[in-house]
Amino acid sequence: METKTYIRLNIGILISTITVVLLIITSGIIDNQVRKNNTPIWKGVSPRIPDPKHCEVFVSDTKSNSTSYINNGTIVNGTIVNGTIYSPFNNTVINNTEAFLIERYNSYSSIIFLYSSIIPLFFFTFDLKQRCNRKKREETKYDMSIMARYPIYSFIIFLISMGWSIGTFTNHACSCKEGLIADNIGQWLVLGLYLFYSLFIFTNNYTKSRTILTYIVWIILYVIYSIVVIILALANISILASNIITLVMILAIIITNIIGIFKNSYITGNKKLFWASFVISIIGIVFGILDYPLCRVGSSINFPKVGLHFIYHIMEAIAITLLYLFHWSLIEDFDYIKSILEENMA
């Protein structure tokens, strides 16, 4: 990356960090106040059956050991009774409306997804400014990355990623079905956008005609995909099914980019960003998978109390941000394209 790119990236990271820290502190203050005053913040939402991967919810409620929350002394194993959710492992109440952050650490880590939203916004701002400068545009048209030539894409990523950040935070804050739906919609829309962009870039190189029809077709395909995933989210599919969809999407993105890197010689970019994203993403997936078995073991020995899902959040937020930076760095090798065209014309 050139100096100006590093500057805008550092500005984006700084603003994102300040925003994330302030939101974590603010949400923590609100949560403590709500718990202290027993204020019913999430009253009226539909509590979801405990998600095995969310070990933290077993102890997130400060009143989880209070017998007054057990319905007339009745112990229910992992089910909902009169709107109250009980842990499937230790038979304690794990959800009520008298908390702002029912899954406290999962909620805090959800805020970190703002990095994957704010940084694209900064790149959009700078790219748009350069795009609107005709002289600068002509001077750098062969040096600009593909994404820099179309700033609108970064803005779309900003909007959808912001929606995902809000959705996943709500999901873990309320531990409710409404939050889970918002989380799934945002997550699948973001992952789908990166997958479709990867397919578009690596299968529609410069030597092929990128007509208006080409863009329209890919836009229509993404819209159809979006409708399908929204319907799936609203259908309230099982948590296992939603996890499988998410995992398949992540693997599809990884495979598409790996094939594109090795098979498409027309496109070059900062490959280190992708490999870093790949490794961090795999680490996040491993933590996400290990959360459930470790949670079962930990519940029997009263450890761990927090779980590992919050680490999955942190890893995936970093991985998505690095993937965006990799995609932004992609540039068409015009010298290579020119040589190929000359060979074909000879």
Between 142 and 107, where is the model more confident? 107
Q: Give the mean pLDDT of 159-163.
A: 95
pLDDT score of 343: 52
- Amino acid at the residue 23: L
Angle made by CA atoms 99, 102, 107, in degrees to the nearest 5: 120
Question: Over 60: is that where the pLDDT of 49 sits?
Answer: no
Report pLDDT digits (tens) over 262-285: 887 778 888 999 999 999 999 999
Residue 162, pLDDT > 90, answer yes
Residue 80: pLDDT band by 50, 70, 90 thresholds? very low
What is the pLDDT at residue 212? 74
User: Which pLDDT does position 53 carry in this prediction?
Assistant: 46
Stretch (H or E) spanning 94: strand 93-95
Predicted confidence at residue 303, as pLDDT, reads 47
pLDDT over 60 at 341, yes or no? no
Q: Percentage of residues in the chain with pLDDT exceeding 90? A: 36
CA–CA separation, 330 vs 147, rounded Å?
A: 7
Contacts of 273 (CB under 8 A, 6+ apart): 322, 323, 325, 326, 329
Q: Which of 162, 207, 178 is nearest to 320 (CA)?
A: 162
DSSP 132-157: H-HHHHHHHTTTS-HHHH-THHHHHH
Question: Is the model's pLDDT at 181 over the cut of 70?
Answer: yes
Alpha-carbon distance of 252 to 248, in angstroms, equals: 6
CA of 14: how far to CAs of 10, 17, 316, 324, in Å?
A: 6, 5, 19, 17
pLDDT, mean over the chain: 76
For residues 286 and 52, the model is more confident at 286
Which spans in 40-151 are helix H?
104-110, 115-132, 134-140, 146-149
pLDDT band for 70, please (50, 70, 90 cuts): very low
- The tokens of 16 are what? 């994102």
Sequence ranges of the domains in the chain: 3-35+100-345
Q: Is the pLDDT of residue 92 over 50?
A: no
Q: Model confidence over 185-211: pLDDT tens digits?
A: 999 999 999 999 998 888 765 545 566
How much is the pLDDT for 78? 39
Q: Which residue has the tokens 């090795």?
A: 262
| Pair of tokens at residue 161 | 């990623």
Lowest mean pLDDT among 105-119, 171-185, 325-339: 325-339
Q: Does residue 97 surpass a pLDDT of 70?
A: no
Q: Is 47 helix (H, G, I), strand (E, B) or coil?
A: strand
Name the token pair of 110.
Answer: 């959800």
pLDDT higher at 137 or 198: 198
**What phi, psi does 112 have (nearest 5°)?**
-65, -20
How confident is the model at residue 280, as a pLDDT?
Answer: 96
pLDDT tens profile 24-37: 999 999 888 887 88
Asked if residues 98 and 38 have their Cβ atoms less than 8 Å apart, the reply is yes
Rounded Cα distance between 162 and 73, Å, is 43
What per-residue confidence (pLDDT) applies to 316?
94
